[in-house]
């Protein structure tokens, strides 16, 4: 993009596209379970599993996820980061500066989402 700054509508559209890319990418992987989108627990508010911030035309992502035990965490996270970054650049033209992944839980293989 040639702008140094993004307007609100562009940021909103980009956020929607980026969220869809992240969710789609995580759902396609056997090694991760995305976090539930529940907003509150009994004691405290849970932050969204996907945090997107912009600085001019640069994108910074923080993604929380659950990982399946037995998979190579380093290899998988590097592939997830690259896949998400490449897809965002391709679809939005924005520069992705960071894709930070935060593993919240390591889940035994064979567990389903209902058991979390």
Domain limits of the chain? 8-37+46-107
At residue 9, the 3 state secondary structure works out as: helix
| pLDDT tier for residue 9 given thresholds of 50, 70 and 90 | confident
pLDDT of residue 47: 63
Model confidence, pTM: 0.76
Parallel, antiparallel, or unpaired for β 50-55 and 58-68? antiparallel
Which residue has better confidence, 112 or 94?
94
Q: Look at residues 101, 89, 14, 103 and name the one whose alpha carbon lies nearest to residue 53.
A: 14
**Residue 22 above 80 pLDDT?**
yes
pLDDT-above-90 percentage for the chain: 31
Q: Look at residues 63, 61, 67 and name the one whose alpha carbon lies nearest to residue 33.
A: 67
**CA R_g for the chain:** 15
What is the CATH class of 8-37+46-107?
Answer: alpha beta
Cα–Cα distance, 68 to 84 (Å, whole number): 19
pLDDT digits (tens, 9 = 90+) for 44-90: 555 678 899 998 889 999 999 888 888 888 999 999 999 999 999 99
Under 8 Å between Cβ of 98 and 60: yes
């Amino acid at each position: 993009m040639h702008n140094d700054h993004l307007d609100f509508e562009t940021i909103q559209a980009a956020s929607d596209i980026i969220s869809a890319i992240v969710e789609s990418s995580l759902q396609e992987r056997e090694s991760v379970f995305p976090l539930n989108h529940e907003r509150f627990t009994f004691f405290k508010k849970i932050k969204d599993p996907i945090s997107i911030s912009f600085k001019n035309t640069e994108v910074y992502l923080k993604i929380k996820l659950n990982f399946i035990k037995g998979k190579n965490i380093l290899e998988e996270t590097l592939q997830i980061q690259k896949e998400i970054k490449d897809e965002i650049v391709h679809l939005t033209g924005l520069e992705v500066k960071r894709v930070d992944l935060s593993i919240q839980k390591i889940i035994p293989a064979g567990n389903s989402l209902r058991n979390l």
